[in-house]
Structure 1
Amino acid sequence: MTDQLIGLLVGLAALTTATAGGVYLGFTSMVMPALRESPEAESVATMNRINVRAVRSTFMIAFVGSALTCLAVAIVVTPALPRLDALFALLGAALGFIAFVVTAAVNVPLNNRLAATKDGRGFADFERRWRRGNSVRGAVSLLGAASLITSLVV
């Protein structure tokens, strides 16, 4: 693979990872506090609707795109180790992929449990745990994107 194609792949990984990270942190800082201030049953119903829409939205391009491009970056830059640009790219790819793992291990199971509630209760406990996981995936996404971008300029 040429250096130009690798640079393009790293740039695409940085873009999708930063986009996903921005959505996560926007959710933590704006959406979840607004839901926390609403009546519990309303918050549960709204979050469940958001979760149904999320998997059908254009956000999935950034979410899945980040995971796939980060995996691809990790594969193509590994032979260039220990060059500094390859180290930054590999670190960024790993952080971007960690956000995907946090989603699968923390946020999706919590979403599924919330969807299974029949009485519209449990939002406070859900929100606290979900927001922690969401903050982690947002932070690692943005740090990953920054590391990917750094790999293009060192």
Structure 2
Amino acid sequence: MTDLARGATLVTATITTGLIAGLFYAYAISVMLGLNRTDDRTFVGAMRSINVAILNGWFLLAFLGAPVLIALAAVLHLRAGAGAALFWIVAALVLYTVVLLVTFAVNVPLNDQLEAAGGPGRVMDLATVREQFEARWVRWNVVRAVASTAAFGCLTWALVLFGQSSTSA
């Protein structure tokens, strides 16, 4: 049962981390590039709508579930003395912690600042609101995309090592 719990936890940690990595990657390579081509009114309105829409159960399940599952996988592997996979799981946890720190220290405050500025119909200087938001938000989202993708890679490798150790046992 211990191998089953370790494997299932590691798989779900990998899936949730992969979903978040994909989300930040999609923003980096399409959403923000597309919004960059819009006028200030459209940009501000769209980002405000996205920031509200993303706060849903499915997003929160993956975004907050990933670090919990990674930590649980680390504890289960530590208890079992599974050293090779454990290193990569801990590395993933460190990388995902970077994602959380960047999100809560940079991206969420920028989202809150954008919300506080008001809707496009109420803001006098949309260009300034956008200027104070866009470049910094995009730059730090790329950091989140890279860190979460690296965490996903670490967990994928941990799965390989876990699978190797399970078949040789």
Unaligned 5+ runs, structure 1? none
Q: Is the 8 A contact 2:51 2:111 kept in 1?
A: yes
CA distance in 2, matches of 1:57, 1:43: 25
Match of 2:150 among 133, 143, 149: 143
**Cα 1:82/1:2, change in 2 over 3 Å:** closer
| Structure 2 residue 138 is the aligned partner of structure 1 residue 126 | no
1:95-106 matches, within 5 Å, as 95-106=95-106
SS at match of 1:7: helix
Q: Is the 8 A contact 2:106 2:140 kept in 1?
A: yes
CA distance in 1, matches of 2:146, 2:59: 17
Structure 1 length-normalised TM? 0.89
Letter paired with 1:95: L
Q: When the two structures are aligned, how many residues end up with a matched partner?
A: 154
User: What's 1:16 paired with?
Assistant: 16
Q: Who wins on radius of gyration, i.e. which is larger? A: 2
User: What's 2:70 paired with?
Assistant: 70
Give deviations 1:27-74, integer Å, cap 9, x for gaps: 111111111111112211110010001002522221122122123223
CA distance in 1, matches of 2:132, 2:80: 45
Q: CA deviation at 1:143?
A: 0.9
Q: Structure 1 segments of 4 or more deviating over 6 A?
A: none
Of residues 136-145 and 68-77 in structure 1, the stretch that sits farther from structure 2 once superposed is 68-77
Q: CA deviation at 1:81?
A: 6.3
Structure 2 length-normalised TM? 0.82
Q: CA RMSD in A?
A: 1.9
Of residues 69-78 and 83-92 in structure 1, the stretch that sits farther from structure 2 once superposed is 69-78
Letter paired with 1:83: G
